Chain A
Amino acid sequence: MPQTNPSSSRSWLMLLLAGGFEIGYALSVGGSEGFTRLTWSLVAVAFFLLTLYALSVALRAIDVGIGYAVWAGIGAVGAALLGPVFFDETLTATRALWLGVIIAGVIWLKLADRQRATQEVADGPRDAQVAVS
């Protein structure tokens, strides 16, 4: 079996964190009621900055198509799971089924991405970053 690339693992951790911040963003935007409640609005802005920062860090090593799908997927899962806790929402069996589909897809992508990362270690670095002064 291929070895896990440590920098790839860290990027996936950052991507999961970005998904977590995205959940916070989605819930606080909902709580802000169209940005009419100040406290929730400020919390939403903070999560907005955090989620994009973490996504940006993760995308240094993860392909943008994979990164976006996982980020949006975790955001959707978290909002569906936590929505009933904070707001007047219910988690139906149908929604739970779709949560399973998203989670399965995310795990699949993690495995597919690990394979690529290992392959690229053999191929050499993909894009050397040019320092901007």
Chain B
Amino acid sequence: MHWLYLSVAVIFEITVAIAAGKAAGFTNRPWTIATLLSGAIATWFLSRALLTFDVGVGYALWTSVAGIGITVLGALLIGQRLDWRKALGIAVVIAGVVGLQLSGAA
């Protein structure tokens, strides 16, 4: 069940980022509502998942999968060009977040 919770949390985290972009600084009301609602849902499902997952591992999985999903969907849906420089930078930052979370218990 915790994998299902985490998957739902990832999907809504991806929705948060895409919707936040569409909300254009909260000037577009439907997308603003979608941003806040997805954020609340993502937070709730993540907190459920973290009851079972080790917090560092769960959070690392959540951020990394969401980050990759957001980047891929940004390129596919919104047509944001992804060159190797941007892809490398995103990969380095996400790797850093994962490393940080996994070393949390150390």
Residues of A within 8 A of B (CB): 29, 34, 48-49, 52-53, 55-57, 59-60, 63-70, 72-73, 76-77, 80, 92, 94-95, 97-99, 101-102, 104-106, 108-109, 112-113, 115-116, 127, 129, 132
Contact = CB atoms under 8 A, between A and B. Distances in A.
A73 B73 CA distance: 19
A28 B100 CA distance: 20
B101 to A, nearest CB: 7
A68 B104 contact: no
B23 interface: yes
Nearest to A57: B25
Contact of B89 (A29, A69, A98): A69
Given A56-B35, A66-B89, A108-B88, A80 B100 contact: yes
Contacts of B99: 97-98, 101
Contacts of A105: 89-93, 95-96
A72 B89 contact: no
Contacts of B95: 101, 105
A77 to B, nearest CB: 8
Given A56-B24, A92-B103, A94-B106, A99 B66 contact: no
A98 B80 CA distance: 28
B71 to A, nearest CB: 3
B24 A116 contact: no
